[in-house]
Structure 1
């Protein structure tokens, strides 16, 4: 089968959508399909379009549907599609309603999809092969922050929180991620220069970013919204415990009972969680480490592969051309 994967960023991008598109293309190729990744529809004939990000890929979806009206489309909803809701996210519900299947990246995403569309919506949790751990530094409690400096990531929250830690704390933050706005970059550079607990490395090649994660004692996620963050999956694969804002995208992956949450935008609460984790106060670090280990199987690549195998069988009937949603 010939499949076009359309996403809002170039295939080489290390932004989350680029990482997802590359992984899906590799997975689909391993299933025996011919796959092209592009930002726009190229006018060629395909057996299926998989559109990553309903709003930002809308032009590609419309162009493909106009040229190939009888060919199925699968639309994957990202965090900025789903939250705070589809309408606010700019998703055309009529376009979404014409999709053969809809994909969300964690179970809580289903709750954002209109009731009439949930029957054709599938949860496919993103995967990552195990990442070998590295020995953490003995002289500090290193915390990884892997996030491009977009407003939805609340990129300065962690640097502000570590300023509230007691002077005896050994916590240091290593921030890996690019910037799109010059003013944010200037603030990150200033914070890195002035805050002894915070180091911003800028964007790094993906293997180097994952190496930072693998040697860290914690990963912190400060996002306002997430659809199902790749970095959570990566931390699970690396065996690194997670501290996250209590957002549906993280709760869907880590569970309602996960102990490592803090409220969105609450700098003081984040500082408290970090301090408690560093000292394993009330067993917090031990608990979240065990909880992450218990959820590690959810990041198994074979699970994601089989989920896509089932979805393709549903969306594209094997007997002939597309015959509609079954």
Structure 2
């Protein structure tokens, strides 16, 4: 029996960020067996969904509270973002209340489990996000540029200034640093404009459609992620499944995605260390090959079939055990 599932996503297609990509993928995964829609919020009254999936403990707190109060027997899933795990649940009462209201907690990488209260860890499940694999880009001859890209909107949590500063420190003659993302913080946008005017190595491409950003990523020599906090970055998955090695800030969320022994970490905020990694991944073929092998070893974690199966299994089990539930149709 098809059920009505509502995904509450504070981010929309217009923002085109990681939370929106998660919501849109989960809609595709679930529509074959359930009736699914996305909304920015839910407050009732009216016909309530049989199950709610809420992204972001703080920003979806009101929707989750309204649903839990109106329909306490209906299941709710909370997908925890990076700002949830690494800031909000420690500081924000509404975010902590969301943890208590959800019947299941989804983390996007396993390192975040340690941030949850011990009593709630039994409700938690790790579901790695996914991206379709792209055939690696085959370079013909000696390329003029070795592009290193950063994909992420310009906001404090993503720390774009570290990428900008690194562009002024790299020394390899082929290095070019490309930044894809909109200026959510006008001050950071101005910094990017000034860096582009002053440094020919740095180019700010602005916001691009998701498919265009991924094609640009595929053609890059490596991708940098400089974030201060991440729940489980989509861009890491998209790089790995495109055959592009990652240079990552050494934070809990990135380690959960790439593994504890990954060789491409740099200290958060350390632009000089990132610049050295960029020079090395371009100029040292053995180091480049090592990062590519390590990323390829993680690729099986990020297959769409695995994410789809995990999402459907979680949803169907919660629906099956909800009060008054009837057996759902499974494929």
Fold equivalence (TM over 0.5): yes
Instruction: Tell me whether 1:71 sits opposite 2:70 in the alignment.
Output: no
Structure 1 residue 72 displacement after superposition: 1.0
Instruction: Tell me whether 1:221 sits opposite 2:225 in the alignment.
Output: yes
Whole-Å separation in 2 of the counterparts to 1:78 and 1:206: 20
**2:263 corresponds to:** 259
**2:196 corresponds to:** 192
**1:51 corresponds to:** 54
Unaligned runs of 5+ residues in structure 2 are: 327-331
Whole-Å separation in 2 of the counterparts to 1:73 and 1:93: 15
> Equivalent of 1:140, from 140, 145, 148?
145
**2:41 corresponds to:** 40
Q: 1:3 to 1:263 in 2, by over 3 A?
A: same
Whole-Å separation in 2 of the counterparts to 1:62 and 1:77: 16
Contact 2:52 2:75 in 1 (8 A): yes
Q: 1:89 to 1:269 in 2, by over 3 A?
A: farther
Question: How many residues are treated as equivalent by the alignment?
Answer: 320
Residue 320 of structure 2: SS of its match in structure 1? coil
Structure 1 residue 45 displacement after superposition: 1.7
Contact 1:81 1:91 in 2 (8 A): no
After the TM superposition, which parts of structure 1 deviate over 4 Å for at least 4 consecutive aligned residues? none
Instruction: Tell me whether 307-316 or 211-220 shows the greater mean CA deviation.
Output: 307-316
Q: How does 1:155-234 map to 2 (within 5 A)?
A: 155-166=160-171, 168-234=172-238
When normalised by structure 1's length, the TM-score is: 0.93
When normalised by structure 2's length, the TM-score is: 0.92
> Equivalent of 2:295, from 286, 292, 298?
292
**1:96 corresponds to:** 99
Structure 1 residue 85 displacement after superposition: 6.5
Structure 1 residue 84 displacement after superposition: 4.3
Whole-Å separation in 1 of the counterparts to 2:158 and 2:116: 23
Residue 212 of structure 2: SS of its match in structure 1? helix
Structure 1 residue 14 displacement after superposition: 0.8
Structure 1 residue 86 displacement after superposition: 2.0
Aligned CA-pair RMSD: 1.8
Structure 1 residue 35 displacement after superposition: 0.6
Structure 1 residue 319 displacement after superposition: 7.7
Residue 10 of structure 2: SS of its match in structure 1? coil
